[in-house]
Amino acid sequence: MKVCVFGAGAIGGYLAARLIHAGGEHQVSVVARGAQLRGIVDGGLRLLAQDEDFIVRPHAVTDSPCQLAPQDLVFVALKSHAQPAAARDIAALLGPDGAAVFVNNGIPWWWTYHGEAAPDARPLPLLDPQAALWNSVGPARAMGCVVYSANEIVQPGVVRHVANNQWLLGEPDRTRSPRLLAAVELMRHAGLQATAAADIRHCVWVKLLRNAPLNTICALTRLPADGLSGTPGLVDLCAAVIDEVVAIAAADGSDVSGQAENAKAALGLGAAVDGSRATIRPSMLQDVLQNRRMEVDAILGQVQAFARASATPCPTIDTLLPLLRGLGQGIA
């Protein structure tokens, strides 16, 4: 099988390192850019973990996807806002029966697609503004992936795995397709704790119970997850976001009320989005500290859009989202 990891940041780099290290007959290529690309080309891709330290070399590494052969499986590990610009490159990489697994924070672009039997699906303007992903890749070739894993780039070409290793994959139409099972088996063989999810949208909402409040509040305050409980009112603010996400998810057809109390309890413990206890910084906070664009629309903006569409009140999100967007403009 020809496999490509498109985007070799912290998550993509960890995924690629595991897949390559597992060996076997699969050819694993990497699409990277900038310093990370140069680091991998010069010294290979190095993974640091609690009991491991190894270097692997991809079958190919490039910043020009057109140089690669057609792929059977492409893991897209780009930030959600970077995906539309890469849509044509992703589509061009896919072989005749190829599929793309979108490793996403927040709501993915293919959300409204439920299979060929539901032809009224439309792209989401916040996430796919010009319908580039919808028209080039096509939702029928997409699978979703929700990840609980904390990783960081410590220097170009070097990824440190900090905690957790859970990967939930699912088809937009909820089927247990051969391609889904093949992707899960590939990942399990590489030591990744991958599961075929019956309802990937439900998995997205469950993660958003922590992702939406923690990413937002940590980015706005520049506090790590374990710093929120030391400031009066911040945990309550996060809890209010959780309650609103529960209501919005319910209006969208997902009952995540049973997971809400665990998410609230984790706030008091300083648990990060991936479940670790942490001075680990949520991804938005890392972006703020490194002056990078944040995934505002996938994590909070589209959630508010769903609330508007279903007439679900979300006053806390309505307050936080403009602040987050204003912060993003200051960074840009």
Domains of the chain: 2-198 (3.40.50.720), 201-331 (1.10.1040.10)
Global pTM reads 0.95
pLDDT-derived band at 30 (thresholds 50, 70, 90) equals very high
- Please say whether the beta carbons of 111 and 298 come within 8 A: no
Determine whether 207 is an active site residue.
Answer: yes
- Please say whether the beta carbons of 1 and 136 come within 8 A: no
Burial class of residue 186 in the structure, from the number of CB atoms within 10 Å of its CB (0-12 exposed, 13-18 middle, 19+ buried): buried
Task: Catalytic residue, from 2, 79, 207, 264: name it.
Answer: 207
pLDDT attached to residue 91: 98
**For residue 27, which phi and psi values (nearest 5 degrees)?**
-100, 115
pLDDT attached to residue 12: 98
Q: Is the pLDDT of residue 119 over 80?
A: no
Q: Is the pLDDT of residue 274 over 80?
A: no
Query: What helix, strand, coil percent values describe the chain, rounded to 5?
Result: 45, 20, 30
Q: Identify each DSSP E strand in the chain by its residue range.
A: 2-6, 27-31, 45-49, 52-56, 60-62, 71-76, 94-103, 142-155, 158-170, 193-196
pLDDT digits (tens, 9 = 90+) for 82-103: 999 999 999 999 999 999 999 9
pLDDT digits (tens, 9 = 90+) for 124-160: 999 999 999 999 999 999 999 999 998 999 999 999 9
pLDDT attached to residue 88: 98
